[in-house]
Amino acid sequence: MGFDWPAPPLLYGFILLVLIGALWVHALRLCKSSPPKIASRLILLRIFSLSLLLALLARPFLEEEELDQSRFRLLTLVDFSGSMDVRDDRGGKKRSEKIRPYLETLTNDSWINQQRQRYGQVDLFAFSEERKRLVGDDWNIPQVGSQTALGDALSRSLLQTEDQPDAPLGSLVVFTDGRNNSGRNLLEVGNEYRAQGIPVHVIGVGKDRPQGDLKVTFSERNPRAVAKEDLLLKAKVINEFSKGVSSRVSLFMGDVKLNEQTVSLRPGAIREILFDPIIPQTAGARRYRVEVESPDGDVEPANDLDTLLVEVKPPLQFSILYLSNQPRPLYPFLKRTLSKEEQFDFQSIIRLGENAFHSLGEGLDQKYPDDKDFWMSFDAIILDTDVLDELNATVAYSLKSFVQKKGGGLLLFGPLNEAREILGGVVPAKVAKRVVLKQNISLRTLEEPLFGPEDEVEEMKPFLPGRLPGYLVTQKNPASRGVVVVRASGESILAVQAYGSGKVAYWGSPHDWRRSLRDEDGNREFDRFWQALAQWLGTGGEERMKVAEESEILDKGTEATLEVKALGSDFEPAVDALVVAEISGPGEFSKKVQLYPRGSEAGQYAGNFRPKESGVYEISYHLSFPDGEKLEQSGLIRVGEAGVESQDTTYAERDLQMLAKITGGQYLHISDFDHSWEPRFAEDLPTLKKRKNLADAWPIFIALFLAAGIEWVMRRQVGLR
């Protein structure tokens, strides 16, 4: 503390004696002219005011020494290596995400902005294998899976200080998990900082946890799968932790959990799990998924799950139901043809009168079905359209679900009006004209999709019988196709289409039984045709949306390809579909990708995206046709860690504590760090002296004003002027 009195000190002493003398004389007079109590108070106020006045005259001041902000730098390093992209807790934040709030330049009260307001020049650098300046809030990790060269980053920062003698490094703050698997030794560089007296403050980011890998995979990639028979799936769980692990293994089909088992494994143990038998009801592709709940510290989340695409073969026996509201001549011929083959379980319900029914088959009631799930026990239905208006609305409408969801087959014959009203677009034909011809009309059977080359369909001689009613399809759905057509005109007699996951056909020759009576060849042809048609209906719908399976685990940061093959309702490659993939993944990843046709193959659509984090990405494919039909399919892509960093992501707390201790800095864990924390600086940095004049403080003038006011009030109370 000093005084800024401009004149010689003797003059200030003389003024002080004069003022004290005047105060003494004034006090004696005041004691004689006023009551003692009031006089003592007034004298104290005068002494107080005189003291403040003398302080103003002396002009006292304080001197403070501060760091010269223009002549040193505060440096901040932030770790951008691959190990900072991991999560220490399942579902928690990544290590880099824990740092970001303190270093955001767009937030006024962030730690980095507070330091810049206080010290001016604060450099911010990111490092992995290389060190470079972090511009703005660009927090995209530049090198996925890159190594950590913390020692090199510190060494380069120190060399930069030597190259800038006018702006020496005053302090360094580093945010890191301590991994240093490339470049110079961390503590060796710390000794160099110590020699120059520069403290290194460490903000540690990470968590001590055991590391290892718990993975699961299907043991058998090609299991035997037949519809309506047991399907046995096996999985293998491998514990690569250095400790025992207890976990749950679950089997899924889509979002439905089929089975769950608990396993306990010793370190390095392998356990094979046999799941409960599954009975697929229909043929076609089934995608199963096995998942294991891995403990914290699992270094590879991508192998916590495995998928298996199983092609379920058609059943050894197809369950066929014939349903009509009256006996028709075609029925006994169908019964004979399908019942004589063991692969067909032919059943029927036929109404004979108002309350009389004929039923064939075990467990069938003598009445129309009244349960909407009745159809689900069959593979295919041969349905007389006249029966539809006699079924209750729920049962009739549930035929849509039978075809669309279960993948069942439906063959319709008879007039179309009521069928189109009740079933809508499920019926392949829009309009069928009833005709009674004078003579037989020759028909032609196309090979696809009912027959193969070995069936020699060109040799078949089907016909539309004369003098008996039949139906010519004059209008059909855009996506349906004619399979049996009139040779002369090309009009369809049998029209087929896919609907959802099932197959539907309309047959316009209800008196085809005449073919069986023509001759021995006609009888064999009739059997072969109807057996092939029943088998085609019963095998379930061909998968119209095929998603390419990626069995390998992709490396993080590499481009993932999405591929879909689409078939229209006519079983031809779809070239006019709109395909969109909705992707969700780790870290709340969400993205929509439109897939575009590939020129090399009709009906194939492709797109891509780049996953930035390891784990499992779920893809929902949505396909829309111009006629409004929509299909959905799902898939998975597994993305794993890449590079040296993924092999060891442990938190090197001891090394970081040693670095801070050697250099005279402070070690803090990120959980103990806050925006108000201040770093310590080197002791030999340039400083500035600042003087603060106490006489300029506004409280002194307020005190003088209050003292004068109080004295005036007291003098008026006792009648003094």
Per-residue pLDDT tens over the stretch 487-543:
988 899 999 998 877 899 999 999 999 999 988 999 999 999 999 999 999 887 667
Q: What sign does the dihedral 63-65-70-74 (CA atoms) show?
A: negative
**How deeply is 509 buried, as exposed, middle or buried, from its count of CB atoms within 10 A (0-12, 13-18, 19+)?**
buried
CB 436 within 8 A of CB 452: no
- Residue 431: count other Cβ atoms within 10 Å of its Cβ: 13
CB 321 within 8 A of CB 578: no
Average pLDDT over residues 252-265: 89
Confidence of residue 255 (pLDDT cuts 50, 70, 90): confident
Output the CA–CA distances (angstroms, integers) from residue 641 to 83, 86, 555, 645, in the order listed: 10, 9, 6, 8
Q: What is the CATH number of domain 318-538?
A: 3.40.50.880
Q: Tell me: pLDDT of 435 over 70.
A: yes
Q: Higher model confidence: residue 146 or residue 205?
A: 205
**What pLDDT does residue 1 have?**
54
Question: Cβ neighbours of residue 312 under 8 Å, at least 6 residues apart?
Answer: 225, 226, 227, 231, 280, 282, 283, 284, 285, 286
Confidence of residue 142 (pLDDT cuts 50, 70, 90): very low
Share of the chain above pLDDT 90, in %: 36
- CA-CA distance, 512 to 346, in Å (whole number)? 19
User: Of the given ranges (134-148, 165-179, 664-678, 697-711), which has the lowest mean pLDDT?
Assistant: 134-148
Average pLDDT over residues 460-472: 93
pLDDT tens per residue, range 388-430: 999 999 999 999 989 888 888 999 999 998 899 999 889 999 9
- CA-CA distance, 14 to 3, in Å (whole number)? 17
Q: Tell me: pLDDT of 335 over 70.
A: yes
- CA-CA distance, 308 to 311, in Å (whole number)? 10
CB 181 within 8 A of CB 679: no
Which is the CATH superfamily of the domain at 542-647? Immunoglobulins (2.60.40.10)
H/E stretch holding 582: strand 578-585
Query: What is the fold of 210-314?
Result: Immunoglobulin-like (2.60.40)
pLDDT tens per residue, range 586-621: 877 889 999 998 867 788 899 999 887 778 888 999
**What pLDDT does residue 145 have?**
47
Query: pTM (2 decimals)?
Result: 0.57
**What pLDDT does residue 510 have?**
94
User: Of the given ranges (8-22, 58-72, 102-116, 314-328), which has the lowest mean pLDDT?
Assistant: 58-72
In the numeric block, the tokens 């450099």 are attached to: 123
Confidence of residue 144 (pLDDT cuts 50, 70, 90): very low
**CATH of region 69-208+650-685, choose from 3.30.9.10, 3.40.50.410, 3.40.710.10, 3.30.70.260:** 3.40.50.410
